[in-house]
Amino acid sequence: MSQSSSTGSFDVASLVEDVNLRRVAQYALVVFFLGFFLVPLETGIMTAIKTNESVARSLPFAPPVGEGFTLGNIQFALEQLSGSFFNSLIMSIPATIGSVLFGSMAAYGLTMVNWRAQMGVLMLFVVGVFVPYQAVLVPLARFWNNIFPLARMIEPMVASIPFFQGYHAELVPLVITHIAYGIPICTILFRSYYQSLPNSLVEAGKIDGASITKIYRRIILPISKPMFGVVFIYQFTQIYNEFLFAFTLVTGSDAPAAPVTLVLPAIGASTSGIDFGIRMSAAFLAAVPTLILYVAFAEQFAKGLRTEA
Amino acid sequence: MATHDNTEHVSDATDEAVGWESKLQYFLNSDFVRSAPYWGIPFVLMSIAVYGGIGYNFAISFTDYEGLGTPDYSVLDLEMYAQALSSDAFIAAAQNNLVLLVGFTTICLVLGLFLAILLDHGIRFSEKFQTVYLLPMSLSFVVTAQLWLWMFNVESGILNLVVTTLGFNPVDWLGNPSIALGAVIFALIWQFSGYTMVVYLAGLQSIPDDQFEAARVDGASITRTYLRIIVPQLKEASVSAAVVLMVFALKAFTFLYALVGRYRPPNGTDILATLMVRRAFKFGEWAYSAAIATMLLVMALGVIGPYLYYQYKQGSL
C-alpha cells in the first residue's frame, strides 16, 4: 500500500522490496484486466476497418496493413443505419426528458410530504424498478395495437411535420412506454439526492411563505442541476440501448421506424453467413452516441449506477 | 427533507372550534394535497403501465387466448400454468435460467470484488482504470452481443486463436449446447463485472482508512486484512449488487436474441425470458406466454421482496 513508505521506523529495505514486488504484481493484474475489457472492443474496431480478405487472413485484433485497410464497411453500415439513427434519437431524447422530469417531480413530492401511506407509494416505485418487462409485454402489444392504436390515429398528423414521415408515428407509443417505465428508476435516483439535501433549505422557503411549487422551481430545481445531469445520462443510455420495447412495439428490423438496436442484429447477414466487417462497423456506429456520453461523463454514469444499488 | 406537517396538528387541536370549511381549507393547504400533483401524476402514469400491465397480463394468463382476435374471459383456469410446468421446453429453460442466475451472479460478485480491491489502494490513475473497466456497461446488449459473436467465431475468433495456440482443437463456443451457456455467462460477466466493481468501491470508500492502518500495525498481512476485516463490512454492497444481477439474469433476453438475430437463442441457452417472447411473438400463444411471464415475475419478486423488507427494517429506504 502506498502509505507504507511514509513510515520509516521499520526495516526500510525489506519493506521497499516487499512493496515493490506487490505493486508490480498489482499493476500487472490491472493491465491484464485492461486487456480483458478492451480486447473485444479493439478487435471489433480493427475488424470494422479491414477488407474481407484481410479479415480472413490476419489476426482478428491486428490493425489492417496497406491494402487491407478500408472505410467501405463503415460507409456501408452508415448508409444502412442512418434512418434508424434518426429514429433512435427522436425516440430517446423526448423519452429521456419526460421520464427525468417526472422522476424529479415524484421524488420531490415524496420527500417533501410526511403522510402515512408514503412508504407504500415509495415501495410501489421501487418494485417498478425491478419488474421484468416480460410481465407486461403481452399487455403492451395488445394495448398499443388493439385497444388504443395511437400510432395509426396520429399517422397523418406526424406525416405533415417537416422531416418526419408517417411511420414515425409508431415511435410515439414507444416514447410514452419508455417514459412510464422509466419513472421508477428516475424517482429513486432523485429521491436519494433530495434526501441528502439539508432540511433547512425547504424550511427557509416555507418560513418565507413560498408555495410548494415555488420551492420546487426556485430552490430545488436550481440545486439539483448536477443530479439532473446524472439521471439524464443514465436514462438516455438506457433508452437508447434498449431493445425489448422497440422489438415489441415496432417489430421487425426492416420496419422503417426501427431504432438502431433493432436493425443491428440483422445487418451484414446473408445466406452465406455474417459479414463481420460490416457487422462490426454497424456495432461500433450504434455504440458511438453512448460511448461519447460515457467518455465525457464517466463519473456521472458511475454515480447513477452506484445510486441504483 | 422530511418537513413535518404542522397544519394537520393545528386542525386536530381545534377540532371543535373550527367548522368544516376551515378544516377543508387546512386540508387543501396541507403538504399532502399541495404536493400531490408532483408525485401523483408520475405515480398514476407509472401505476397504469407497471401494475395495470401486470394485472392485465395476469388476467390473460388465465384465458386460452392465442392468435388473432380478442381474449375470452368467460372460462378462466390455470390450464396454461399446468401446461407450462409439464412441458420439457419450460423445464429446460428454467434449469438454464437457474444456472445463468447462480453462475453469473456469483462470478460477477467475486470478480467485481477482486477488481475493487485491486484498484482501491496504491494504484495511480485508479479512476482512469475504473472508467475502462466500467465501459462495457455503457454499451447496449445488442452491441456487446455482436462483439462477442465475433470473439466466439469458430474460424477467426480470438478465443479459438488462444485455444489453438495452446495446442487444443478449436471449440464451437456457441454451437455446442453443453458449453454455449457458459460462453454466454462469460460474455455477460465481461459486461457486468465493472458494475459490481463500482458498487464495491463505493462500499470500500466508506470504510475509514484507520482500519487498514490498525490492521497493518498489528502486523496482519494485506490478504488477511481484507478477508477478515474489510470484506465482512461489504455485506450490504454485496446484497444490493446481487439483487440487481439476479433480477437481470431472470429477464436477460436482449443479449441472447441479438447473438443470433432470431427468436431461438443458441441451443442450450434458452431461458424463460427467451421462451416467453418466442411463444408470444412468434407463435402468438398469448395466454401461454403470459403464464410464463407471471411465473418470471413471481421469481423476480421472490428475489426483491426479502431485499426490500430487509431494507425497510433497516430504515435505509
CATH 3.30.930.10 holds for B80-314: no
Question: At residue B94, does pLDDT exceed 70?
Answer: yes
CATH 3.90.1150.10 holds for A73-308: no
Is the Cβ of B12 closer than 8 Å to some Cβ of chain A?
A: no
**What is the DSSP secondary structure assignment for residue A7, as one 8-state letter?**
-
Q: How far is CA B141 from the centre of its chain?
A: 14
pLDDT digits over A149-192, tens only? Answer: 999 999 999 999 998 999 999 999 999 999 999 999 999 999 98
Nearest-CB residue to B35 (from A109, A194, A308): A109
**All structural domains of chain B with their residue ranges:** 6-55, 80-314
Contact assessment for residue A139 and residue B57, using Cβ atoms and an 8 Å cutoff? yes
ipTM for this model: 0.89
Of all residues in chain B, the one with the smallest CA distance to A120 is B312
Residue B15 is predicted with a pLDDT of: 52
Residue A95 φ/ψ, nearest 5 degrees: -65, -40
Residue A5 is predicted with a pLDDT of: 43
Lowest mean pLDDT among B17-26, B132-141, B274-283: B17-26
Tell me the percentage of chain A whose pLDDT exceeds 70. Answer: 93
Residue A65 is predicted with a pLDDT of: 87
| DSSP secondary structure string for all residues of A70-117 | -SHHHHHHHHHHHHHHHHHHHHHHHHHHHHHHHHHHHHHHHHH---TT
pLDDT tier for residue A6 given thresholds of 50, 70 and 90: very low
pLDDT tier for residue A1 given thresholds of 50, 70 and 90: very low
pLDDT digits over A62-103, tens only? Answer: 899 888 899 999 999 999 999 999 999 999 999 999 999 999
Nearest-CB residue to B140 (from A125, A203, A241): A241
Contact A134 B130 (CB under 8 A): no
The pTM score is 0.90
> Could you give the C-alpha distances from A67 to A46, A71, A278, B249, in angstroms and in order?
14, 12, 17, 44
Contact A280 B144 (CB under 8 A): no
**Structural Rg of chain B based on CA atoms:** 26
Is the Cβ of A221 closer than 8 Å to some Cβ of chain B?
A: no
Is the Cβ of B142 closer than 8 Å to some Cβ of chain A?
A: yes
Contact A127 B308 (CB under 8 A): yes
Minimal CA–CA distance to A63: which of A38, A84, A44, A91? A44
> Could you give the C-alpha distances from A205 to A115, A190, A210, B130, B215, in angstroms and in order?
20, 20, 5, 40, 48
Residue A14 is predicted with a pLDDT of: 56
Question: At residue B253, does pLDDT exceed 50?
Answer: yes
Question: At residue B281, does pLDDT exceed 70?
Answer: yes
Residue A96 makes CB contacts below 8 A (sequence gap 6+) with A182, A232, A235, A236, A239
**All structural domains of chain A with their residue ranges:** 2-68, 73-308
Contact B39 A105 (CB under 8 A): yes
Q: How far is the C-alpha of A243 from the C-alpha of A261, rounded, in Å?
A: 6
Minimal CA–CA distance to A253: which of A237, A269, A239? A269
Contact A309 B293 (CB under 8 A): no
Rounded (10°) angle between helices B20-29 and B6-13:
170
**Structural Rg of chain A based on CA atoms:** 25
pLDDT digits over B74-85, tens only? Answer: 989 999 999 999
pLDDT digits over A41-50, tens only? Answer: 999 999 999 9
Residues 260-299 of A with CB under 8 A from B: 261, 264-266, 269, 274, 276, 279-280, 282-283, 286-287, 290-291, 293-295, 298-299
**Facing residues of B72 across strands?**
none
Highest-scoring range by mean pLDDT, A203-207, B35-39, B287-291: B287-291
Q: How far is the C-alpha of B53 from the C-alpha of A32, rounded, in Å?
A: 46
Contact B3 A293 (CB under 8 A): no
pLDDT tier for residue B27 given thresholds of 50, 70 and 90: confident
Residue A80 is predicted with a pLDDT of: 92
Contact B57 A138 (CB under 8 A): yes
